[in-house]
Homo-oligomer: A and B are copies of this chain.
Amino acid sequence: MAEEAGTGTDLPVKRAREEESGVGSEAVNHNNGAAVEEDAALPQGVSAVIPGWFSEISPMWPGEAHSLKVEKILFQGKSDYQNVMVFQSSTYGKVLVLDGVIQLTERDECAYQEMIAHLPLCSIKNPKKELFEKPFFESVAKALRPGGVVCTQAESIWLHMHIIEDIVSNCREIFKGSVNYAWTTVPTYPSGVIGFMLCSTGGPAVDFKHPVNPIEADENAQSTRPLKFYNAEIHSAAFCLPSFAKKVIETKSK
Residues of A that sit less than 8 Å from B by CB: 29-33, 49-53, 55, 62-69, 89-92, 107-108, 110-111, 158, 185-193, 220, 226-231, 233-234, 236-238, 240-244, 246
Instruction: Kindly list the 6 A-B residue pairs having the minimum CB-CB distance in the complex, ordered from nearest.
Output: A192-B192, A63-B91, A237-B240, A237-B237, A63-B90, A187-B191
| Residue contact A158 to B32, C-beta cutoff 8 Å | no
The reply to whether A30 and B52 contact each other, CB–CB distance below 8 Å, is yes
* A92 and B69 contacting across the interface, CB-CB below 8 Å: no
Given A32-B51, A62-B91; 19 other pairs, CB 8 A cutoff: A33-B69, A33-B90, A63-B69, A64-B69, A64-B91, A67-B67, A110-B242, A110-B244, A187-B191, A191-B192, A192-B192, A228-B243, A228-B244, A229-B242, A229-B243, A229-B244, A231-B246, A234-B241, A237-B238
Q: Are A50 and B62 in contact (CB under 8 A)?
A: no
Residues in chain B near residue A237, CB distance under 8 A: 236-238, 240
Q: Which residues of B contact A231 (CB under 8 A)?
A: 242-243, 246
With both beta carbons as reference points, the residue of chain B lying nearest to A62 in the complex is identified as B91
B49, B52, B55, B234: the one contacting A242 at CB < 8 Å is B234
B-chain residues with CB within 8 Å of residue A187 when the two chains form the complex = 64, 158, 190-193
